[in-house]
Amino acid sequence: MALKNINITINGKNLTVPEGITILEASNRAGVKIPTLCHLDLHDLKMVNKTASCRVCIVEAKGRNTLVPACVTKVYDGMDIRTNSIRAIRARRIAVELLLSNHPNECFTCPKNMDCELQALAAELGIREIKWEGEKIDLPIDTSSFAIVKNPNKCIMCRRCETMCNEVQTCGILSAISRGFSSFVGPAFNISMAESSCTYCGQCVAVCPTAALTEVNNTDQVWDAINDPDKYVIVQTAPAIRVAIGELFGMEAGTIVTGKLVTALRMMGFDKVFDTDFSADLTIMEEASELINRLENNGRLPMLTSCCPAWVKFIEHQFPELLDVPSTCKSPHIMFGTIAKTYYAEKNNIDPDKIVVVSVMPCLAKKAEAKRPELTKDDANNVDIVITTRELGSMLKEAGINFNTLPDSEFDNPLGESTGASVIFGTTGGVIEAAIRTAYEWMTGKELEHVEFTQLRGMEGIREGTVKINDIDLNIGIAHGLGNARKLLEDIRDGKSKYHAIEIMACPGGCIGGGGQPYHHGNIEIIKKRQQAIYNEDKNKAIRKSHENPYIIKLYEEYLGKPLGHKSHDLLHTYYTAKEKI
Active site residues per annotation: 287, 290, 307, 327, 366, 369, 374, 511
Q: How many residues does the chain have?
A: 582
Can you spell out the DSSP letters for 458-492? S--SEEEEEEEETTEEEEEEEEESHHHHHHHHHHH
Nearest to 184 by CA among 157, 204, 203, 151: 157
Distance CA 429, CA 435 (A): 10
In the three-class reduction of DSSP (H, G, I as helix; E, B as strand; rest coil), residue 377 is classed as strand
Q: CB-side exposure of 128: number of CA atoms within 13 Å?
A: 1
Distance CA 566, CA 134 (A): 65
Question: What amino acid is encoded at 38 in this protein?
Answer: C
CA 251, 257, 261, 263 dihedral sign is negative
Say what angle helices 389-398 and 258-268 make with each other, to 10 degrees.
60
Distance CA 466, CA 472 (A): 10
Is-contact 374 387, C-beta < 8 A?
A: no
Distance of CA 492 to the CA centre of its chain: 25
Residue 396: which residues within 8 A CB-CB, separation 6 or more? 264, 268, 403
Peptide bond into 414 cis (omega under 30): yes
Question: What amino acid is encoded at 102 in this protein?
Answer: N
